[in-house]
Amino acid sequence: MTRYRAAPAATLRIVPLDALTLIYHRASGITHVVDSPVPELLETLNNQSLTLSETLAALAAAHDLIDPDVSALAARLDELVAAGLVEAI
């Protein structure tokens, strides 16, 4: 079963900017401009590895999600893995 964790904190510089968040990924040299739920996902996956269902449960509990969507979360995590911001282990 795939587990996910955020890239090491030392490789990310996260700066909130109004409704958006800038994430500089030191390993790639790319700055990502993201919106919710990316910062929340990175916070949830910081210093821990979780399965898809564990990640969804943690997000739902922390952010009072009314209708959590596992397929939408899976798609977002796949995007973040491709960008190097999340690791699939």
Confidence check: pLDDT of 82 > 90: yes
Q: What is the rounded CA–CA span in Å between residue 61 and residue 57?
A: 6
Find the helix or strand (DSSP H, E) in which 79 lies.
helix 70-83
Mean local confidence (pLDDT), 18-28 = 95
Mean local confidence (pLDDT), 25-49 = 95
pTM for the whole structure: 0.91
DSSP label at residue 63: H
Please write the tens of the pLDDT for every residue from 51-78.
999 999 999 889 887 788 999 999 999 9
